[in-house]
């Protein structure tokens, strides 16, 4: 099981230089990954919000081993060919450390900007975009990613909805949101083994608050446990959690 940080790049953390510094500290203190929310806006109105892709580029240059990625990017509001270029470029920049977290996203990020809000249509666009991305990563575009045959994809799913789980089973990992506890994760782990024949090579990703006991999650089958924060505490609070180690 690996340990990561799950940060919202808001307020003080909307500064990409600060995020890069936190990432370097995290790597030095034994953390395995750092993942950023992908939001256009977040209450209250006027709140500072950083672009995760530019910030992740800064993180990539400040680190050598830390796995990184967006958690999660709603592909329904993105042009898939542009995402393909961005992801491959970031995978090359990080020398193969990118994980692509995807999901339906939050309607608040769509309605205000005239984008698709209806959940079924967003789901359709997500599936269509993932298939197109897969083809572009596998040689439809040049250059190809460092990671072969493609960049790993984690799919978010709001518990207890099953359609997103079935979507995740076609890819490389599941990030269940609002999971009640380890027992429900164990249920999902059993489903993964039944449907795929094995859980080998498939990530189960959960988030916990700072200081949480992670052993029950390990026992339930988690491959990644991310320490997350109620967005977003002062940078000094995040720094202390980082320096305490995973």
Question: pLDDT (tens digit, 9 = 90+) per residue, 158-204?
Answer: 999 999 999 999 999 999 999 999 999 999 999 999 999 988 999 99
- The total of structural domains in the chain comes to 1
Ramachandran area for residue 245 (φ above 0: left; ψ -120 to 50: alpha; else beta): left
DSSP string covering the chain: -EEEEEE--BGGGG-HHHHHHHHHHHHHTT--EEEE---S--SSTT--B--HHHHHHHHHHH-SS-EEEES-EEGGGS-HHHHHHHHHHHHHHTTS-B-EEEE---THHHHTTT----HHHHHHHHHHHHHHHHHIIIIISSSPPSSSS---EEEEEETT-SHHHHHHTTSSEEEEES---HHHHHHHHHHHHHHHS--TT-EEEEEE-TT---HHHHHHT-SEEEEE-SS---HHHHHHHHHH--
Instruction: Place 114 in a pLDDT band, splitting at 50, 70 and 90.
Output: confident
Stretch 212-228: mean pLDDT, rounded?
A: 98
Question: pLDDT (tens digit, 9 = 90+) per residue, 130-162?
Answer: 999 999 999 999 999 999 999 999 999 999 999
Q: Which residues pair with 206 in a beta bridge?
A: 225
CA atoms within 13 A on the CB side of 141: 20
Question: pLDDT (tens digit, 9 = 90+) per residue, 51-88?
Answer: 999 999 999 999 999 999 999 999 999 999 999 999 99
> 178 lies in which domain range?
2-244
The CATH number covering residue 139 comes to: 3.20.20.30
Q: Given CA atoms 91, 9, 205, 155 in this order, what sign does their dihedral have? A: negative
Residue 222 has pLDDT above 90, yes or no: yes
- Phi and psi dihedrals of 59, rounded to 5? -60, -45
Instruction: Place 93 in a pLDDT band, splitting at 50, 70 and 90.
Output: very high
């Amino acid at each position: 099981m690996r340990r990561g940080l799950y940060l919202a790049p808001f307020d003080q953390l909307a500064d990409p230089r600060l995020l890069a510094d936190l990432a370097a500290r995290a790597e030095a203190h034994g953390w395995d990954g750092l993942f950023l929310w992908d939001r256009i806006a977040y209450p209250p109105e006027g709140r500072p919000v950083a672009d995760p892709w530019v910030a992740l580029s800064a993180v990539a240059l400040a680190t050598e081993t830390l796995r990184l990625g967006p958690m999660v990017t709603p592909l329904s509001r993105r042009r898939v060919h542009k995402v393909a270029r961005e992801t491959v470029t970031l995978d090359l920049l990080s020398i193969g450390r990118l994980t692509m977290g995807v999901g339906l996203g939050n309607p608040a990020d769509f309605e205000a900007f005239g984008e698709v809000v209806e959940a079924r249509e967003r789901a359709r666009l997500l599936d269509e975009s993932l298939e197109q991305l897969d083809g572009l990563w596998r040689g439809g575009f040049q250059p190809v990613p460092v990671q072969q045959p493609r960049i790993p994809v984690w799919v978010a799913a709001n518990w207890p909805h099953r359609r997103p789980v079935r979507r995740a089973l076609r890819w490389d990992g599941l990030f269940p949101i609002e999971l009640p506890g380890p027992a429900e994760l164990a249920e999902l782990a059993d489903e993964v083994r039944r449907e795929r024949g094995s859980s080998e090579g498939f990530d189960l990703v959960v988030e916990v608050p700072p200081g949480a006991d992670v052993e029950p999650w390990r026992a339930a089958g988690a491959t990644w446990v991310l320490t997350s924060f109620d967005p977003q505490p002062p940078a000094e609070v995040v720094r202390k959690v980082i320096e305490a180690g995973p």
